[in-house]
Structure 1
Amino acid sequence: MVSTRTPGFSRPRGRFTGRTRTPAPTSAGPSSRPDRPRLGLISRDVPRQRRENTFPPTPDRLNPAHLASLRSVQLLGCAIAAGWAAAFPIISDLPNQRLWGAVAAPAYALAGLLCLILPRRFAARSAAAVGLLGAVLVPLALLALQGRHQSEVMVVERSAHLLLTTGSPYLQHPVVVTDYDPYLPAMTLFGMPRQLLGNGDALTRVAGDARIWFALTFLACLLASWRLLRPSRDRAPLLPLAVLTASPLIALALAVGGVDLPLIGVCCLAMALAERDRTVGAGLVLALACTLKWTAWPALPVAVLLLWRLYGRRPAARTGLIAVGVSLAVILPSALTRADALREQVVRFPLGLTAIRTPAGSPLPGKVLAGFGPTGHTVSLALMTMGGIGVAIWLLARPPVSAIAAADLLAAGLAIAFMLAPAGRFGYLALPVVLVIWPRMAARRWSGKPPVPPGPVGRRPRPERPEPALPRG
């Protein structure tokens, strides 16, 4: 009698589909076709080139895009935004913020109504358009045409004028709080359009406004980081970018000041470039960040350690040298010619160590502690230093392995610094919030661990054919 059982093939071999291990199809003929497992998470309908460059996405229920598409989440977001904006005309003593709240609150309420009554495929886009129009474009146009803005916009535009006329963006002897320029020299770039276009008719007033260039830099950097981090180049992030820009955290800053927006975008772009091994681009973007505000300096070691962990010492050293070299080339002229002004306005003033203190108030712990006098101020600085040391130890012990993990580390360090700084403001927290949200939306996953590519996706692995059984002699 001849045995039909193949030696060494007692169990069916398995293959990993991306979810569970399932038995591979056998060569039993057409009857086994209905029992073939699915191809996992990637469909055959997707073109082969795109499938091979696509990582397995997060399960649908945990996907950031899926959560954002839920009607209940959209309604909750619009309700929170409307309540946030409606509070400004009541509690704020700044006219520009009160105007923004009066215009933005009805826009957010209307956006929530559209989310409720429109079909799902039209609701999100319509609500985002209404929010963008009512919370960003209308208040920004009104304030720009009237020449109204927060003091930091005037400081940036004046620093550009000083640089062109005196060779330094800093006043030698500041007298009032608006004479202080707490920004590094590269921030003067955003004041140059005002010097070039002047302050004539309505068009030049709007086009030369530094807030316009803050916003354009912010949007361009977020778009570029999205394209770098997106697993598949399927579409432009118009809807996510519109929702983020129309949110109160960004819309208020953009309409009345916006000086922190370019720093947010540049930090996101630097982490994305580092993950993709764009060493020269990452070095130049980090140099731009480090010459805008001193609060961006923690981004340099985070990005360098990300490159070192992913690609080795040489790419990390190249990026670090480019960033440090360009930063020194930009900062050194001001440091050599106006060293006292640079130290007084860029270092001591943000830390609350000057005779003139910033009038900006906030309920953050550092600001509250600084209000108790020199002892509270010292405690605030000590706590901020201890928090920075803790984040540095965390960074060295567990270097980031993806742009999401790097952005999380940077966001944690900046959030601790902003909350414990003696002169911290609530608006500064927009930077760590966007650092946490935007890379996750672009990469379509929550975890900071890099995804493992599933190998040659799109082809079914052929089952090994068993050798024919030999008749027993």
Structure 2
Amino acid sequence: MVSTRTPGHSRPRGRFTGRGATPSTPAPAVPSAVPQAAPAAVPSTRRGRLRGGPTRRAFPHQRGGSGPPDLPDRLNRPGLAAHRGVQLLGCLTAAGWAAGFPLVSDLPNQRLWGTLAAPAYLLAGLLCLVLPRRLAARAGAAAALLGAVLVPLVVLVLQGRHQSEVMVVERSAHLLFTTGSPYLAHPVVVTDYNPYLPAMSLFGVPHTLLGEGSALARLAGDARIWFAVAFVACLLASWRLLRPTRDRGPLLPLTVLTASPLVALALVGGGVDLPLIGLCCLAMALAERDRTIAAGLVLALAGTLKWTVWPALPVAVLLLWRLYGRRPAARAGLTALGAASAVMVPYALTRADELREQVVRFPLGLTAVQTPAGSPLPGKVLAGFGPGGHIASLVLLTVGGLGVTVWLLARPPVSAIAAADLLAGGLAIAFMLAPAGRFGYLALPVVLMIWPRLAARRWSARPPVPSACLLAQAEPALPAVR
């Protein structure tokens, strides 16, 4: 009887330089006279096909991968969110938050939302407490979604009530059809200003086409509906890209996130930042999967909606460079810049004054008409002390941006979670130190930190398993030859 040793596992193809990666070791020599068993086929997670060995598409950090064949058992254990006490505490916290708006807010839309959402959250908590465990979470999430999102949204749409940004977006689409530009030439009052980039007017096109006719036309044409559709579609796509297995769908986590006060209030009142959140999550997921062209196009779309999300471009490019090298990173960056330039250059050449005045100076509080975004964040408090405080706010904002840049270059991201964390940190600093801002803006960085973790089923920003370990897990040992 003659036996052979199992050949050593080589490192899978595809560049991966994330922390924790181990160098490949050469396989020990096997005498040519001894027959060798063929390597066992490794099941692919794509369409159930069998491949003749591990390839770069079999691993989550490499191009097109959808997860290793087998995951540790700890990923299948119920998390803390499955406990009734945690679910009840979350519902009570949301109910308390919503109940505060009718008492302290001076905005009618927010008071209406709080009046309808607080009982819905209490009902969700009761359902989580008394129903069987297999139904409790779904029933509670459905109750919260109905009472905190759908009912208030329908009521406000039918009454024609919304935040000013919804009207600005819908008017910009009308101006685009009639004048060729989404900007008023000579803004006078605060609602005449359009602080968004030209592509944002796309969300107002349904309202321009459907008008103010029947109730159904008002619902289908309201820009908030399309903000929500874009948000949900992007989160679903990023979930599919980041999910290591297909064991559970995104319906329950997405329902809970959408029904939470973090998203529900923004969606019901205005929702203009929701597409930005979704596009940033999708761009980071595409970058982790080495979908360079798609990532570049998504970044270009986000960058032509609002200039505050342009920091997502260098973050995604550095993620691609760290995982796959210079060429994929350059391809994504050039795609994003080229597509965004195709949209922005015509306006920059023909409407430069309007862009500078409404898109840059107005959000920074540098125009005669002040922006209505006036939550008492540190930058706004500083700007309230006069010209000196306004300059101090801008200086701090610049210093914060430089600090995030140093952080990005010193510790480039190695996963979509790390990239989303870095982007969320930069945006939070910008929102806190800008001369004008709202508390609602902070929903963007919070969702950026939460959703990629829910999709990837891990809290760590590092890749879960080094490449060599994944290969060792996927490829069984060769049997002895008798």
Q: CA separation of 1:104/1:268 partners in 2, compared to 1, >3 Å: closer, same or farther?
A: same
Q: Distance in 2 between matches of 1:281 and 1:299?
A: 14
1:362-441 equivalence runs, <5 A: 362-441=375-454
Q: CA separation of 1:324/1:216 partners in 2, compared to 1, >3 Å: closer, same or farther?
A: same
Q: Distance in 2 between matches of 1:118 and 1:238?
A: 19
Q: Distance in 2 between matches of 1:105 and 1:282?
A: 39
CA deviation profile, 1:306-331 (whole Å, cap 9, x unmatched): 00111111111111011001111111
Residue 231 of structure 2 corresponds to residue 218 of structure 1: yes
Code of the residue aligned with 1:430 in structure 2: it is A
Q: CA separation of 1:199/1:184 partners in 2, compared to 1, >3 Å: closer, same or farther?
A: same
Partner of 2:68: 53
CA RMSD of aligned residues (A): 2.4
Q: Distance in 2 between matches of 1:248 and 1:79?
A: 12
Q: CA separation of 1:354/1:247 partners in 2, compared to 1, >3 Å: closer, same or farther?
A: same
1:100-179 equivalence runs, <5 A: 100-179=113-192
Conserved in 2, the CA contact under 8 Å of 1:56 and 1:451?
A: no
Code of the residue aligned with 2:434 in structure 1: it is A
Q: 1:356 aligns with which of 338, 354, 369?
A: 369
CA deviation profile, 1:365-403 (whole Å, cap 9, x unmatched): 111111111111111111111111011001011110100
CA deviation profile, 1:341-375 (whole Å, cap 9, x unmatched): 11011001111111111233312111111111111
Code of the residue aligned with 2:192 in structure 1: it is D
1:12-411 equivalence runs, <5 A: 53-54=68-69, 56-57=71-72, 59=74, 66-411=79-424
Runs of 5+ consecutive residues of structure 2 not aligned to the other structure: 6-47, 51-57, 59-65
Conserved in 2, the CA contact under 8 Å of 1:362 and 1:426?
A: yes
Superposition deviation, residue 454 in structure 1: 2.6
Partner of 2:470: 454
Conserved in 2, the CA contact under 8 Å of 1:149 and 1:256?
A: yes
Superposition deviation, residue 456 in structure 1: 5.0
Conserved in 1, the CA contact under 8 Å of 2:380 and 2:433?
A: yes
Conserved in 1, the CA contact under 8 Å of 2:75 and 2:457?
A: no
Partner of 2:10: none
CA deviation profile, 1:432-458 (whole Å, cap 9, x unmatched): 001100000000011111122532547
Code of the residue aligned with 1:315 in structure 2: it is P
Superposition deviation, residue 172 in structure 1: 1.0
Conserved in 2, the CA contact under 8 Å of 1:181 and 1:346?
A: yes
Superposition deviation, residue 55 in structure 1: 6.1
Q: Distance in 2 between matches of 1:398 and 1:157?
A: 41
Q: Give the number of the structure whose alpha-carbon radius of gyration is greater.
A: 1
Q: Distance in 1 between matches of 2:344 and 2:302?
A: 12
Conserved in 2, the CA contact under 8 Å of 1:274 and 1:306?
A: yes
SS at structure 1 position matched to 2:406 = helix
Superposition deviation, residue 98 in structure 1: 0.6
Code of the residue aligned with 2:68 in structure 1: it is N
Superposition deviation, residue 279 in structure 1: 0.7
Runs of 5+ consecutive residues of structure 1 not aligned to the other structure: 1-8, 10-46, 468-473
Conserved in 2, the CA contact under 8 Å of 1:79 and 1:112?
A: yes
Q: Distance in 2 between matches of 1:58 and 1:262?
A: 35
Q: Distance in 2 between matches of 1:231 and 1:163?
A: 43
Larger mean Cα displacement after TM superposition, 262-271 or 331-340 = 331-340
Q: Distance in 2 between matches of 1:161 and 1:449?
A: 46
Code of the residue aligned with 1:234 in structure 2: it is D
Q: CA separation of 1:400/1:133 partners in 2, compared to 1, >3 Å: closer, same or farther?
A: same
Relative to the length of structure 1, the TM-score reads 0.85
CA deviation profile, 1:140-177 (whole Å, cap 9, x unmatched): 00011111110000000000011111111111111110
SS at structure 2 position matched to 1:79 = helix
Conserved in 2, the CA contact under 8 Å of 1:55 and 1:451?
A: no
Q: Distance in 2 between matches of 1:354 and 1:93?
A: 25
Code of the residue aligned with 1:99 in structure 2: it is L
Q: Distance in 2 between matches of 1:172 and 1:419?
A: 31
Code of the residue aligned with 1:454 in structure 2: it is L
Code of the residue aligned with 1:236 in structure 2: it is G
Paired residues, what number? 423
Conserved in 1, the CA contact under 8 Å of 2:284 and 2:420?
A: yes
Code of the residue aligned with 1:461 in structure 2: it is A
Conserved in 2, the CA contact under 8 Å of 1:52 and 1:456?
A: no
SS at structure 1 position matched to 2:404 = helix
Code of the residue aligned with 2:231 in structure 1: it is F
Relative to the length of structure 2, the TM-score reads 0.84
Superposition deviation, residue 58 in structure 1: 8.3
CA deviation profile, 1:57-105 (whole Å, cap 9, x unmatched): 58469x8x61221222211111111011001111111111110000000
Conserved in 2, the CA contact under 8 Å of 1:352 and 1:358?
A: yes
Superposition deviation, residue 332 in structure 1: 1.4
Superposition deviation, residue 54 in structure 1: 3.9
Superposition deviation, residue 459 in structure 1: 6.9
SS at structure 2 position matched to 1:454 = helix
